[in-house]
């Protein structure tokens, strides 16, 4: 019980620490205050859940930092036995961009955190900023479960996501390694990845997604065909010709954002409807939470 209460307090404190809520006494007590330190004093963490740093993304951040500086401090902890050396808990991308911008020092917040807390902070910060791809997020959750005996409910509370989101994200770790690589590189979206969990050959279908631009709804058709015992090699039907390119593009964008099938129907008088399909009650629950937010 004490451990559970500690996790709950930590979750609230982390949110304040990374700037997503107002003042939080627990976070203030945990932090030793903001300061500026030379960029060479910082070290990346081997435990950082984020592994992918896109060149275009870094270039854009570098330009922003040159113009406006670093607006959000980097969260660090001291490295035992070393003087003037700090391990980055959250903000490695900012640190990398600061070096590209040739900054001599950067703002940091020094906190006291053990390995478990450091990993929590890193995951919370990255997830709330949507900096992690879905595979990195799943790996971070798995690490908290494996190393620190977290349950899915613990993760949902600390991360600030629904339990269904945590469960669906963890399932992505079951995809074949080549498919996980495509997701990490952005060739396949998280919505596609969740749909691929239900097909008989995720790797083959992932390649078709990349080569043919298949939508999440296309993949769901394959799942339905396989459930009916139809040909597993059948190529999903392309969107019907009566829908214009803009409508199909909007459907695809919504599908990738929601991870669900979306159909937009226009009427001659300018009205219309948007249909969102779901395969499980967990998907419906997650959709309702997003709409309420």
Give the residue, 129 or 132, on which the prediction is more confident: 132
**Structure confidence by residue, pLDDT tens digits, 219-247:** 988 888 888 775 444 444 444 446 777 78
Total Cβ atoms within 10 A of residue 185: 12
Residue of 226, 228, 170 whose CA lies nearest to 200: 226
Q: Is the dihedral of CA 206, 211, 216, 220 positive or negative?
A: negative
Structure-block tokens of residue 206: 């992932």
List the beta strands (DSSP E) in 148-259. none
Q: Are 226 and 293 in contact (CB under 8 A)?
A: no
> Does residue 3 surpass a pLDDT of 80?
no
Residue ranges of domains in the chain, CATH in brackets: 2-172 (3.90.1530.10), 175-292 (no CATH)
Which residues have CB under 8 Å from 227's CB, separation 6+? Answer: none
Total Cβ atoms within 10 A of residue 31: 18
* Half-sphere exposure at residue 135, Cβ-oriented, CA atoms within 13 angstroms: 20
List the beta strands (DSSP E) in the chain. 31-38, 42-43, 74-78, 86-90, 105-111, 261-266, 272-277
Residue 42 pLDDT class (50, 70, 90 cuts): very high
Q: DSSP states of 18-84 as a string?
A: TTSSS--HHHHHHEEEEEEEEGGGEE--TT-S-----HHHHHHHHHHHHHH--SSPEEEEEPTT-SS
- Average pLDDT over the chain, rounded to an integer: 78
Q: What percent of the chain has pLDDT over 90?
A: 17
Catalogue the active-site residues. Answer: 92
């Amino acid at each position: 019980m004490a451990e559970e209460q500690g996790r709950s307090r930590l979750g609230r404190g982390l949110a304040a620490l990374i700037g997503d809520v107002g003042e939080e006494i627990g976070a203030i007590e945990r932090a030793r205050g903001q300061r500026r330190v030379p960029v060479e004093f910082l070290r990346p963490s081997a435990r950082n859940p984020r592994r992918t740093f896109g060149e275009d993304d870094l270039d854009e951040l570098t330009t922003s930092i040159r113009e406006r500086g670093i607006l959000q401090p980097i969260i660090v902890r001291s490295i035992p036995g070393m003087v003037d050396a700090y391990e980055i808990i959250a903000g490695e991308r900012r640190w990398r961009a600061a070096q590209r911008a040739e900054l001599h020092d950067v703002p940091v917040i020094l906190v006291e955190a053990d390995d478990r807390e450091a990993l929590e902070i890193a995951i919370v910060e990255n997830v709330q900023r949507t900096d992690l791809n879905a595979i990195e997020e799943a790996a971070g959750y798995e690490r908290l479960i494996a190393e620190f005996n977290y349950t899915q409910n613990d993760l949902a509370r600390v991360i600030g996501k629904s339990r269904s989101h945590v469960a669906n994200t963890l399932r992505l770790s079951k995809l074949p390694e080549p498919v996980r690589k495509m997701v990490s590189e952005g060739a396949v979206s998280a919505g596609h990845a969740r749909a691929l969990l239900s097909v008989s050959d995720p790797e083959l279908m992932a390649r078709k997604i990349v080569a043919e631009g298949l939508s999440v709804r296309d993949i769901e058709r394959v799942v339905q065909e396989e459930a009916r015992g139809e040909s597993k090699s059948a190529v999903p039907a392309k969107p019907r010709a009566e829908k214009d390119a803009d409508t199909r593009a909007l459907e695809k964008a919504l599908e990738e954002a929601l991870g669900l099938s979306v159909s937009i129907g226009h009427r001659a008088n300018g009205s219309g409807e948007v249909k969102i399909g779901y395969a499980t009650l967990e998907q419906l629950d997650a959709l309702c939470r997003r709409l309420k937010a």
